[in-house]
């Protein structure tokens, strides 16, 4: 799965959790990586330094991916420092849980903006260099909640279901250009984002444990590789059998 292309990868929301593990995995395959963050500059810088220390190449770039102008700046900086963006991992995400009657409009809007609209903005921008190169890998971090009900997460479920639909549609649009677009759908993975929702759920998982960010990153790493050239429009579930 080693790198055979000249270009770089951007991982959004990469300061910790699945994003950080994914950035490290892509760097191990030889991709220079732009470690995007919104607020955790220290975590992103530490990750970039760790990648550099392990023989890779990385740069931490702050940008709020819900802001189109900041997305453009993110890509411009990545391209100027690391080369054309040929891999994009849309990992940035958030939760604002509550039963539907109690969900506020701004909680709905914030989750859809971060989890879905931002992924569209970055995908649209990433397709420019990918179309020119006739090669690209886009991997969207969705969730099993996008296809499986989880009370109290109507906004989160809608954003992830939308992300899966967008993945499949864009994949069909660009398949003839050597660009693949796929999603991974993690189940219960131990990250800061899942704090407070694991009580009792682990017992429902056939594997009888939670997943790790590295296990999700391994799947992203495959989908971003040359070996996955014939895999597109797919959703790879990583949930220990929860949705089986």
Is residue 37 annotated as part of the catalytic site, yes or no? Answer: no
d(C-alpha 6, C-alpha 13), whole Å: 23
Categorise residue 89: left if φ over 0, alpha if ψ from -120 to 50, beta otherwise: beta
Angle of helix 154-174 versus helix 105-112 axis, rounded to 10: 30
Question: Which of 37, 75, 156, 222 is flagged as catalytic?
Answer: 156
Residue closest to 213 by CA, chosen among 231, 236, 189, 195: 189
Cβ neighbours for 210, distance < 8 A, ≥ 6 positions apart: 188, 189, 190, 194, 198, 202, 240
Residue numbers annotated as active site:
156
């Amino acid at each position: 799965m080693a790198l055979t292309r000249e270009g770089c990868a951007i991982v959004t929301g990469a300061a910790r959790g699945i994003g950080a593990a994914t950035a490290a995995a892509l760097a191990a395959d030889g991709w220079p990586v732009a470690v995007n963050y919104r607020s955790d500059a220290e975590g992103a810088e530490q990750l970039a330094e760790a990648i550099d220390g392990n023989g890779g190449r990385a740069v931490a770039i702050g940008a709020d991916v819900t802001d189109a102008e900041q997305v453009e700046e993110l890509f411009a900086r990545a391209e100027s420092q690391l080369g054309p963006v040929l891999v994009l991992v849309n990992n940035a995400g958030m939760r604002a849980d509550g039963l539907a009657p109690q969900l506020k409009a701004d909680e709905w809007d914030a989750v859809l903006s971060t989890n879905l609209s931002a992924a569209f903005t970055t995908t649209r921008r990433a397709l420019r260099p990918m179309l020119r190169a006739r090669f690209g890998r886009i991997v969207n971090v969705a969730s099993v909640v996008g296809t499986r009900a989880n009370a109290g997460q109507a906004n989160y479920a809608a954003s992830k279901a939308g992300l899966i639909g967008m993945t499949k549609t864009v994949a069909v649009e660009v398949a003839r250009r050597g660009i693949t677009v796929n999603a991974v759908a993690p189940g219960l993975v131990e990250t800061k984002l899942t704090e407070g929702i694991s009580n009792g759920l682990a017992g429902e998982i056939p594997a009888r444990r939670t997943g790790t960010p590295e296990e999700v990153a391994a799947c992203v790493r495959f989908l971003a590789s040359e070996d996955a050239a014939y895999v597109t429009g797919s959703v790879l579930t990583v949930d220990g059998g929860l949705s089986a």
